[in-house]
Chains A and B, each alone.
Chain A
Amino acid sequence: MAQVEEVDKSLVWSGGNSPFRLSYGKQMMWFFLVSDALSFGGLLTAYGFARHSVESWPVAEKVFRALPFTDGDFPLIYVALMTFILIISSVTMVLAVEAGHRKHKKGVVNWLLLTVLGGAIFVGSQAWEWSHFIHGSHHGAVLTEQGWAYVAHLDYQYDDEGHVIMNGHHPELASIKLQFIDGGKYMLTGAEALASYQTAEKNEEGKLLLADGLGVPLNVVSDGDNVSALDIVVEGKIYRELEGAVGSDNWNELVALYEGSTAQIQGANLTENEYAPNAPAYADFFFFITGFHGFHVFSGVVINLLILIQVVKGTYDSRGHFEMVEKSGLYWHFVDLVWVFVFTFFYLI
């Protein structure tokens, strides 16, 4: 590509050949990108610093599990899809640049249009992720006597005699589950109580009375006295309810622990978040890193759109080259490049 050619010196700068045989615009774009990369490098390094300085940090697979149009549980799937869309929009951009080198205007228009579309989908997805992150889970996190706990399940009420009863389509699954964040414990409590009750008895409304146990098959994994895992089998499907240590062996005790909680966080803002009650910086970094990147994507979409309009108007045909597409392409690839790092350091590791 870079062969030596005789150049009409009246057309180039007075120093002769352009430095590095690159145009001024392209060089400056590279210099801008290097400085911008340092901004992102700084943010990610600060993130690593904050994270290594504290005892615990949330696991992304446990925070980002939602997928639009579903209420299912898909750890990291949506963010992986966003990553893929951004990579593909980078591919369409490089194809637009390639078409520009052949002065194939129609090709440039089509590929650039797809790039703008991919970028817009990414920004929209980012907005959805933010909204989901800010609103938080169904029950949030609570501060109990035993420390902060994430409320994974919460479905109970009292009957006339003051017993705790469970509701739901699968009363044997509906329960109260607290996952403790502090004190080196990460656990699902409540399930051990099930192991001690093998027979079911229902009240008049068909709801299970806790004190009298449950009527579902249970597979108990134990080494003598200690229960280490408990599978509940419902319609042939196994639900692993309990792994590792258990703090409370009594439903009522657990309900009391929950009801005695002194603080509650739901969702996330700049001062507190339910994903990491002891590390508020987690949400700050989420907002700043993905926000700064999202703003880059947004401006990239706008720039690509403006250049697309110029291509359609024929500005670059009369100029004789499509180098402007290449310059905005550099910026767009950079936005993709940054996301590759954000994806690894914020979501995967």
Chain B
Amino acid sequence: MIRDDLNKDAEYARSASHDEEHGVAIRKKIYKVTIILTLITILEVAVGIVWSRPVLGGESMSWLGIKLFYIILTIVKAGYIVLVFMHLGDEKKNFKWMILGPYILFILYLLFICITESSYISEVMRASW
């Protein structure tokens, strides 16, 4: 078997290449995503400067809202990077989900367990003071 990085006629190399005309459409999409990512970053920093996290004991509802706002924007940014810049959106569907599925499951589990456990530890520490 020929090493596939040296194989000139490998199917993936042919299917990934495109002509000048197609390139224009792809570049247009790249610039669109660039503008979206830039605007999101500017918005995040502006919100970060205007609303500062309360230093102590101030886990207010409004801060919770801002936290969620940041997390959602981060996931939107990550989605654009992975699906457009890394072309995962253009790969075969089962490959896409083989990469994303286990990771999303694992991270959701890890988030749940860590937030639960650390809240418990924080309570115990507070009680011991």
Contacts and interface: CB of A to CB of B under 8 A. Distances in A.
Smallest CB-CB A-B distances: 7 pairs: A52-B118, A320-B8, A321-B13, A20-B95, A344-B74, A80-B45, A53-B121
Interface stretch (A87-95, A162-170, A210-218): A87-95
A320 B17 CA distance: 10
Contact of A349 (B4, B53, B86): B53
B11 A80 contact: no
A349 B51 CA distance: 11
Contacts of B117: 49
B38 A324 contact: no
A256 interface: no
Interface of B: 1-2, 4-20, 23, 26-27, 30, 33-34, 37-38, 41-42, 44-45, 48-49, 52-53, 55-57, 67, 70-71, 73-74, 77-78, 81-82, 84-86, 90-92, 94-95, 98-99, 102-103, 106-107, 110-111, 114-115, 117-119, 121-122, 125-126
14 contacts: A1-B15, A2-B91, A11-B9, A18-B11, A24-B5, A25-B4, A25-B5, A34-B103, A38-B103, A53-B118, A54-B122, A55-B122, A87-B41, A336-B81
Contacts of A334: 86
Interface string A6-17: 011001111001
Contacts of B15: 1-3, 5, 21
A7 B118 contact: no
Contact of B30 (A61, A62, A98): A98
Contacts of A102: 17-20, 23
Contacts of A337: 78, 81-82, 86
A23 interface: yes
A84 B41 contact: yes
Contacts of A103: 17
B70 A333 contact: no
Interface residues of A, number: 78
Interface of B is mostly: helix
Contacts of A198: none
Interface string A305-334: 000000000000001110110100110011
Nearest to A323: B13
A76 interface: yes
B38 A84 contact: yes
Contacts of B2: 11
A30 B86 CA distance: 10
B106 A38 contact: yes
A34 B104 CA distance: 11
Contacts of A319: 5-6, 8
B78 A341 contact: yes
A80 B41 contact: yes
B90 A2 contact: yes
Contact of B16 (A37, A326, A330): A326
Given A87-B37, A337-B78, A337-B81, A323 B16 contact: yes
Contacts of A7: 11
Interface string A121-163: 0000000000000000000000000000000000000000000
Interface in A26-79: 26, 30, 34, 37-38, 41-42, 45-46, 48-56, 59, 61-62, 75-77
B91 A94 contact: no
A63 B23 CA distance: 44
A102 B73 CA distance: 33
A11 B10 contact: yes
Given A102-B17, A344-B71, A321 B8 contact: yes
A101 interface: yes
A186 interface: yes
B121 A94 contact: no
A83 interface: yes
Contacts of B27: 95, 98
Contacts of B19: 102
Contacts of B38: 84, 87
A95 B31 CA distance: 10
B11 A348 contact: no
Contact of A90 (B55, B56, B85): B85
A77 B42 CA distance: 10
A340 B16 contact: no
Given A21-B15, A59-B53, 4 more contacts: A62-B52, A186-B55, A323-B5, A344-B73
